[in-house]
């Protein structure tokens, strides 16, 4: 009898991610996938980022959560297209997959969109394994999470191109060794571009916005 070999479980995800990459290249849309543990500040960062880039670029948001539409509601005031994916309604997955992102992109008017923001599910493990066809992965590490997370969750940090060290406004109140955290990020990913920010106060945010502005503009003129 013929032996069946289980195919790579990621292969269909990868195929869809390739389709997404082609679509985004054709439409000249920049897409960033924001990843972190729960509560690091992804939604607060998205809020400040949208405010900073509004008027200059057409934006759309894909919110991923296991349950609730809370994060989408927080961004509703910006009056830009937002789709909330609640994975509990499907397979209770702890990550987003490219199949869902593809569906969301079909819903957006990509001719009027320059920047798609994906807020992945708060989780430092599974989301790192799923290519969503994004241009860039941006991992958020808040200073309340401890210095060792990059070395404990290396895949998340070595598959990302940008790290935002968030909540730096809290540093004076914490016993946190920022240099150790930065060294740990570099140990796992020597090429990581790191920004130290506070999504709450805006500290360090201008530099990050300038970087994003450059990346979105590059894609637009590609």
Ligand X SMILES: Nc1nc2c(ncn2[C@@H]2O[C@H](COP(=O)(O)OP(=O)(O)OP(=O)(O)O)[C@@H](O)[C@H]2O)c(=O)[nH]1
Write the binding mask 8 to 37 for ligand X: x where contact by CB under 6 A, - elsewhere: ----------------------------x-
Nearest to 197 by CA among 189, 187, 188, 207: 207
| Whole-angstrom distance, CA of residue 36 vs CA of residue 207 | 20
Nearest to 196 by CA among 174, 170, 160: 170
Contacts of 15 (CB under 8 A, 6+ apart): none
- Residues 167, 173, 178, 181: what is their CA dihedral angle, to the nearest 10 degrees? -70
19 token code pair:
């389709």
The size of the interface with ligand X (CB under 6 A), counted in residues, is: 17
139 token code pair:
């991992």
199 near ligand X, rule: CB under 6 A: yes
142 near Mg ion, rule: CB under 5 A: no
Interface positions, 71-130, toward Mg ion (CB under 5 A): 71
Which of 17, 33, 34, 42 touches Mg ion (CB under 5 A)?
A: 42
Which of 93, 167, 184, 189 touches ligand X (CB under 6 A)?
A: 167
42 near ligand X, rule: CB under 6 A: yes
Q: Residue numbers of the site for ligand X (CB under 6 A)?
A: 36, 38-44, 71, 122, 166-167, 169-170, 198-200
Q: Enumerate binding residues for Mg ion (CB under 5 A).
A: 42-43, 71
């Amino acid at each position: 009898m013929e032996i069946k070999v289980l195919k790579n479980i990621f292969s269909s995800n990868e195929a869809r991610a390739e389709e997404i990459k082609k679509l985004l290249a054709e439409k000249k849309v920049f897409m960033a996938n924001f990843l972190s543990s729960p509560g690091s500040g992804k939604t607060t960062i998205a809020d400040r980022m949208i405010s900073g880039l509004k008027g200059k670029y057409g934006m759309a948001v894909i919110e991923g959560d296991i349950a609730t539409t809370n994060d989408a509601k927080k961004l509703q005031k910006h009056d830009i297209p937002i789709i909330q994916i609640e994975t509990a309604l499907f397979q209770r997955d702890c990550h987003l997959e490219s199949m869902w992102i593809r569906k969301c992109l079909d819903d957006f008017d990509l001719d009027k969109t320059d920047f798609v923001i994906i807020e992945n599910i708060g989780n430092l493990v599974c989301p790192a394994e799923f290519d969503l066809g994004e241009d860039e992965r941006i991992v958020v590490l808040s200073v309340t999470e401890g210095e060792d997370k990059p070395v404990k969750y290396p895949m998340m940090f070595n598959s990302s191109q940008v790290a935002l060290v968030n909540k730096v406004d809290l540093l004076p109140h914490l016993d946190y060794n920022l240099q150790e955290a930065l060294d740990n990020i570099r140990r796992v990913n020597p090429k990581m571009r790191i920004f130290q920010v506070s999504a709450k106060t805006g500290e360090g945010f201008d530099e990050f916005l300038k970087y994003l502005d450059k990346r979105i503009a590059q894609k637009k003129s590609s």
